[in-house]
Amino acid sequence: MVNNAKPGRPTAQIVEKNEFEPGSISLPSKLWRILERLKDRMDPSLSATIKGLLLTRLAEMQYLNEEEKKALGL
């Protein structure tokens, strides 16, 4: 494995890049409005806001390993 991390970061902490698949979901209008408001507070993109909320919930449900939880700051 090549160390493409920033200087000073140990090789053991390198996390493989995620592969993304585009998709679409349908949500109630009220939920979209809430997500749009959260987007402005959490992250500049709606996609990143939704990913953050989803990953946090998956971590709470024990679907993520300890390294992934640590990366989320949990």
* Sign of the torsion formed by the C-alpha atoms of 61, 65, 69 and 71: negative
Task: Give the model confidence (pLDDT) of 13-61 as tens digits.
Answer: 444 567 778 888 899 999 999 988 888 787 778 888 888 889 999 999 9
pTM equals 0.64
Distance CA 34, CA 30 (A): 6
Determine the Cα angle at 50 with ends 17 and 61, to 5°: 80
Distance CA 66, CA 68 (A): 5
* DSSP code of residue 64: S
Residue the block writes with tokens 């160390």: 3
